[in-house]
């Protein structure tokens, strides 16, 4: 306490609002983007926020400061521990999301190969087929929300290409169970429940936690059955098929399957929802799509810059971290606030403009960080980018989309993501004849 006081007294701790932590928590929950913009304007590129029940969190908004935080991954910045409270009840104790140190690296090493660009490129046709199958069921001529439709597609991709499940009965069960598992598992009612009370709550049938535990058990039974089945019939090209060939045990594989579901399903669907939300308001960009492949790739990148899905990539510091004139104490969180890093005019000139051309020369910009950075950089980034390109192309080849309301959709906090407030409302009309790639 004295240590923290001295830091604050001598101005080493980054500045921040003096409001009580409960008020800051309520502010963040109501309007996280607005709060971060206010604090950025008031305090500059590094500031501290305080949330009830958690260590203080320092946010940074430049690529240089972010790089210094990512650098702590080399020595023990605990990205895993920073996520554990929110995720362990779903992903278990053996997940790359929540592990740190040697345990994390042992898993990460095994997850990297099946998710590399070269490997996932083999999924292109199957992703396109899944998207085409789903798009054929969308309503025509009346408004509907695209985000759920995108979740439907990305969930199917996980069930068929990551889990590699072919049995129609199991696919059907998972399709029904997984969305509810994710919804109940991420609910604020559950996350607000202290760890020690969760065991008790699991036995009360009408509480969300009880429902969550029953769903999780049901999903686990299917996953463990599938893992046993795949060990008996090795050789699949899906991610599970590759994981059963590694040293990982059944429980570890189950945890990593659920990890890829939790980390990869809603995020990718939200990225796609934003892509269409933006494109519907940028007719000239839309015109050039989807045939120009390098341009499509650049559009996806620019969407993820102007509307990053995941807003932060925090590390729990295990040693004090010096950032310029500031020193952040051990035990605090520190991380980039990604939407503001992406709007730094030093890194992205005229940042408010949507300019896919920024990426056309193949130039890497280290301020572009929708997938985080350091050693904990998103393991699914290549799959997510491929999914976005392929699904956008399938939609644009078949449908003409318009927005029922031209006003841009606001950003709304949902679990760890920022989503379009109206879930991307669109009206679709069949393109006749459908364009062929
Ligand atoms: C547009 C879609 C996606 C976005 C925006 C996204 C974003 C992120 C971010 C910001 C992180 C944290 C990185 C850090 O702390 O530095 C992360 C980590 C992670 N993501 Fe993604 N992700 C997406 C899709 C996926 C997909 C499709 C998968 C899996 C198939 C996936 C699996 C993971 C995992 C396992 C981690 C933890 C990595 C580690 O700690 O070693 N993500 N992602």
Beta carbon of 336 within 6 Å of any ligand 1 atom: no
The helix (H) or strand (E) run that includes residue 58 is: strand 57-60
Q: Is 389 left (phi over 0), alpha (psi -120 to 50) or beta?
A: alpha
Q: What is the Å distance from ligand 1's center to 405 Cα? A: 32
How many Å apart are CA 300 and CA 295, to the nearest integer? 9
Q: Which residue has the tokens 């796609």?
A: 272
Query: What average pLDDT does the chain have?
Result: 92
Q: Which residues of 162-175 are buried (b: 16+ CB within 10 A; e: fewer)?
A: bbbbeeeebbebbe
pLDDT, mean of residues 250-254: 97
Tell which atom from ligand 1 comes closest to the C-alpha of 99. 40
Q: Which residues lie closer than 8 Å to 209 by C-beta, 6 or more apart?
A: 190, 193, 198, 201, 202
Per-residue pLDDT of 65-97, as tens digits, reads 999 999 999 987 789 998 888 899 999 999 999
| Binding site feature residues | 378
With the most atoms of ligand 1 within 8 angstroms of its CB, the residue from 91, 371, 374, 411 to mutate is 371
The H-assigned helical ranges of 117-207 are 117-121, 124-135, 146-157, 168-185, 188-191, 195-201
Q: If you measure from the C-alpha of residue 286 to the centroid of ligand 1, how many angstroms do you get, rounded to a whole number?
A: 27
Q: Is the pLDDT confidence value at 7 over 70?
A: no
Looking from the CA of residue 79, the nearest atom of ligand 1 is 15
Cα separation, 36 vs 1, in Å, equals 26
* Distance of CA 116 from the midpoint of ligand 1 (Å): 13
Which H or E run contains 262?
helix 250-279
Tokens of 72: 């702590």
State pLDDT tens for residues 99-133.
999 999 999 999 999 999 999 999 999 999 999 99
DSSP single-letter state for residue 13: S
Residues in a beta bridge with 414: 417
Rounded to the nearest whole angstrom, what is the distance from the C-alpha of residue 431 to the centroid of ligand 1? 34
Half-sphere CA count of 31, side-chain side, radius 13 A? 6
What is the position in ligand 1's atom list of the atom closest to the CA of 158? 30
Mean pLDDT of 185-193: 68
Closest-lying ligand 1 atom to the alpha carbon of residue 383: 27
Domain boundaries, the chain: 2-164+236-430
- Region 34-44 average pLDDT: 97
Q: Which CATH superfamily is domain 2-164+236-430 in?
A: Cytochrome P450 (1.10.630.10)
CB atoms within 10 A of CB 283: 9
Give the residue whose CA is nearest to atom 6 of ligand 1. 371
DSSP code for 74: G
From 145, 224, 209, select the one nearest 425 (Cα to Cα).
Answer: 145
Is any ligand 1 atom within 6 A of the Cβ of residue 259?
yes
Binding residues for heme: 378
Instruction: Tell me how far apart the alpha carbons of residues 1 and 75 are, in angstroms, rounded to a whole number.
Output: 25
Q: Which residue has the higher pLDDT, 185 or 379?
A: 379
* Model confidence band, residue 190 (pLDDT cutoffs 50, 70, 90): low
411: enclosing H helix or E strand: strand 411-414
**Is 99's C-beta closer than 6 angstroms to any atom of ligand 1?**
no
Q: Is residue 9 very low, low, confident or very high in pLDDT (cuts 50, 70, 90)? A: low
How sure is the predictor about 416, in pLDDT bands with cuts at 50, 70 and 90?
confident
Q: What pLDDT, in 10s, does the model give residues 275-323?
A: 999 999 999 999 999 888 899 999 999 999 999 999 999 999 999 999 9
Q: What is the pLDDT of residues 209-220, one digit of tens each?
A: 888 889 999 999
The gap from C-alpha 269 to its chain's centroid, in whole angstroms, comes to 9
263 lines ligand 1 (CB under 6 A): yes
Q: What percent of the chain has pLDDT over 90?
A: 80
CA of 313 to the centre of ligand 1 (A): 10
């Amino acid at each position: 306490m004295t240590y923290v006081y001295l830091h604050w007294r001598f101005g080493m701790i980054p500045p921040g609002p003096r409001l009580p932590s409960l008020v800051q928590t309520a502010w963040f929950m109501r309007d996280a983007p607005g709060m971060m913009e206010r604090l950025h304007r008031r305090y500059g590129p590094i500031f501290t926020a305080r949330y009830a029940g958690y260590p203080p969190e320092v946010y940074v908004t430049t690529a240089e400061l972010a790089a210094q935080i990512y650098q702590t991954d080399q020595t023990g910045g605990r990205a895993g521990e920073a996520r554990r409270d929110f995720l362990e009840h779903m992903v278990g104790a053996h997940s790359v999301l929540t592990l740190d140190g040697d345990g994390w690296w042992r898993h990460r090493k095994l997850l990297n190969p099946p998710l590399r660009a070269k490997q996932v490129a083999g999924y292109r046709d199957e992703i396109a087929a899944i998207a085409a199958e789903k798009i054929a069921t969308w309503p025509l001529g009346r408004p509907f929300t695209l985000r759920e439709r995108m979740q439907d597609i990305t969930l199917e991709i996980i069930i068929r290409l990551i889990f590699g499940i072919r049995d129609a009965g199991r696919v059907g069960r998972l399709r029904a169970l997984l969305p509810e598992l994710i919804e109940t598992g991420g609910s604020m009612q559950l996350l607000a429940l202290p760890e020690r009370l969760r065991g008790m709550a699991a036995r009360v049938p009408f509480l969300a936690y009880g429902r969550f535990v029953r769903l999780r058990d049901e999903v686990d039974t299917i996953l463990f059955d599938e893992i046993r089945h795949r060990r008996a019939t090795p050789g699949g090209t899906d991610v599970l098929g590759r994981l059963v060939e590694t040293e990982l045990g059944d429980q570890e594989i189950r945890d990593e399957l659920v990890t890829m579901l939790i980390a990869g399903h809603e995020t990718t669907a939200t990225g796609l929802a934003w892509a269409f939300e933006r494109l519907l308001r940028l007719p000239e960009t839309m015109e050039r799509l989807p045939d120009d492949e390098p341009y499509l790739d650049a559009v996806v990148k620019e969407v993820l810059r102007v509307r990053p899905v995941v807003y932060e990539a925090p590390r729990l510091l295990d040693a004090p971290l010096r950032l310029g004139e500031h020193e952040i104490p051990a035990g605090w969180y520190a991380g980039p606030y990604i939407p503001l890093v992406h709007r730094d005019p030093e890194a992205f000139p005229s940042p408010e403009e949507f300019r896919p051309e920024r990426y056309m020369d193949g130039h890497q910009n280290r301020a572009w960080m929708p997938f985080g950075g350091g050693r904990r950089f998103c393991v699914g980034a290549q799959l997510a980018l491929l999914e976005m390109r392929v699904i956008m192309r399938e939609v644009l080849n078949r449908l003409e989309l318009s927005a029922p309301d031209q006003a841009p959709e606001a950003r709304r906090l949902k679990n760890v993501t920022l989503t379009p407030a109206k879930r991307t409302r669109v009206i679709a009309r069949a393109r006749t004849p459908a364009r062929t790639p």
